[in-house]
Amino acid sequence: MTAIRYDGPACALPLTDTQRVQLGHGSGGKMSAALIRDHFLPVLGNHYLSQLADGAVVPIGNRRLVVSTDSFVVSPLEFPGGNIGTLAVHGTLNDVAMMGGDPLYLTAGFVLEEGLSLDVLDRVVRTMGHCADEAGVQLIAGDTKVVERGKADGMFINTTGIGLLDATFHPGPARAREGDVILVSGALGRHGMAIMAVREGLAFESTITSDTANLTPLVALLRAAASEGIATLRDPTRGGLASALNEIAQASNVGMELDEAALPIPAEVAAACEMLGLDPLYVANEGVLMAIVRPEKAEAALEALRTHPAGAEACVVGRVVSDHPRYVVLRTAIGGSRVVDLLPGDQLPRIC
């Protein structure tokens, strides 16, 4: 495991046409945030949407639901370790779980392009069934639309997940505080670099496979081991660990410090990032859980994660500090430090 340093620009800087949607608007970075702030919230903003979370907690009868929706537009549709269907099930399940919900139900909306191979569709649908079964959730409603050749890119999938909120477990982006410890459940950057390696035709000694996984078992273990000690949970997907930590630093009004030497970045991921001029801190993960934990519960949380194969490499990567509130700072291996800001636009488009 090695970490690399990134000082160059992101691959797609914001363009100057401010009247049209740009790729950077889908980045999960500053342009995404601006699109939401300027074009969605002024009209649709309410108690739920204004929290800018991965989903919402809403009352229904005398219970509380956790609801999350996500559209998947990954290109290519199939890649080492998974396909668009794996992401569509895991991604939404994980968002529900990170908000403290027990995922129960999923809906799936397909936009298919005329000419899509039915073999590809079959493999994707089979994967979704398998992933849903494995996670113990039910696909309860679906919809299929078809658009003409050239009007979509093979297929897009939207999934919406519904879960029940545990009454005693309330992780949230605004709950981090000084002294908390930042944990990750495993190696960083595998999903994004698996996609990029396919797109760019990169060959390594071993193929980089996506880490796509259902994270609900890890959440259950954490809940059992350190319930109230868990301040925040997040699956750092689009925008990677750096973007997730920036959002939490802002929501909690705290600073964050990352130790470069502690970041679990596999050698192939580091090599691929170096080759393509990318920073692994911004690369999407689809099977990594990040937890911000009260210091007295950090050891118990780590031990709990490590009892599960998906958390075997869990480790501490940093801490919450009172210095530089709202900023994430990386302590580099050579003793320096640099601010890890939100990127303006896209490092990796169409990654999920």
Q: Min. distance of Cβ 344 from its own copies in angstroms?
A: 14
The C-alpha atoms of residue 172 and residue 194 are separated, in whole angstroms, by: 30
What is the amino acid identity at position 296?
E
Identify residues 62-81 at the interface with its own copies (CB under 8 A): 62-63, 65, 67-73, 75
Residue closer to its own copies (CB basis): 104 or 202? 104
CB 221 within 8 A of CB 311: yes
CB neighbourhood size of 2 (10 A): 15
Identify residues 155-174 at the interface with its own copies (CB under 8 A): 156, 158, 160, 162, 164
Q: Min. distance of Cβ 222 from its own copies in angstroms?
A: 23
Identify residues 31-60 at the interface with its own copies (CB under 8 A): 32, 35-36, 39-40, 43-44, 46, 48-49, 55-56, 58, 60
The C-alpha atoms of residue 121 and residue 123 are separated, in whole angstroms, by: 5
What does the CA dihedral 122, 80, 102, 171 come to, rounded to 10 degrees? -150
Q: Min. distance of Cβ 58 from its own copies in angstroms?
A: 6
Task: Verify binding: residue 335, its own copies, rule CB under 8 A.
Answer: no
Distances (CA, A) of 51 to 20, 47, 249: 26, 7, 14
The 80-119 site mask, x for binding its own copies (CB under 8 A), equals ------------------------xx-xxxxxxxxxxxxx
Q: CB under 8 A: which stretch of 28-36, 173-181, 188-196, 199-207 binds its own copies?
A: 28-36
**Residue 121 CB contacts under 8 Å (≥ 6 apart), including other chains:** 112, 155
What does the CA dihedral 34, 38, 39, 45 come to, rounded to 10 degrees? 110
Task: Verify binding: residue 151, its own copies, rule CB under 8 A.
Answer: yes
Sheet of strand 56-60, all strands in order from the earlier edge strand to the far edge: 56-60, 63-72, 155-165, 101-113, 138-147
Q: Min. distance of Cβ 50 from its own copies in angstroms?
A: 11
Identify residues 210-269 at the interface with its own copies (CB under 8 A): none
Task: Verify binding: residue 344, its own copies, rule CB under 8 A.
Answer: no
Q: Min. distance of Cβ 291 from its own copies in angstroms?
A: 22
